[in-house]
Amino acid sequence: TKGESSLVVSVIDAGVENHEDLNDNSGNSRVLGGIRLNPDNTNPSDWIGGGTPVVNGSGHGQWCAGIIAASHNDKGGAGIAPNVRIFPVNRESRTTTRDIYVRYEEIAEAITRSWQAGASVINMSIGVGSSSESSHSPVIEAAIDQAKTQGRGGRGTVLVASIGNNN
């Protein structure tokens, strides 16, 4: 299968821009408006309209979205589900050095906002805290449990996380 256009995959990462490889057959972007997490906590998150979230420098979210959903258009790579739509969650850097880490609360919010926005699948490629911090977090576990039980109209949202990165 190449996925259905009714399916939404959330990409929790460094943001996803509109790109020709993420367009449908009519040339319309499959990148939805998403959210931007604000690490200074002055405003926990902001909706991003117009389907053009800002990539904060790394390009990693764009690459992940391409692996998931790049069109089969003979222009470059081909995604595993080229018909799905992408709901980007951009976690902004706290520093100009592209800090890749986010707080547990930010991850929990990203998970919750993703399934509430209709994501069937949530892809997370992020780091948490520092190497001395525990990877166990009750707030993330609670968000995952909600996604698994309440997402997709009570059928559960599939969560996919990277492994092998630091932490």
C-alpha dihedral sign at 100, 105, 108, 109: negative
CB 96 within 8 A of CB 47: no
Q: Compute the distance between CA of residue 106 and CA of residue 41 in angstroms, rounded to an integer.
A: 10
For 3-18, how does the pLDDT look when each residue is reduced to its tens digit (9 = 90+)? 999 999 999 887 888 8
Its pTM stands at 0.83
CB 145 within 8 A of CB 32: no
In the structure, what pLDDT confidence band is assigned to residue 19 with cuts at 50, 70 and 90? confident
What DSSP letter does each residue of 24-50 carry, written as one string?
-TTS-B-BPP-EEE-TTSSSSEEE--T
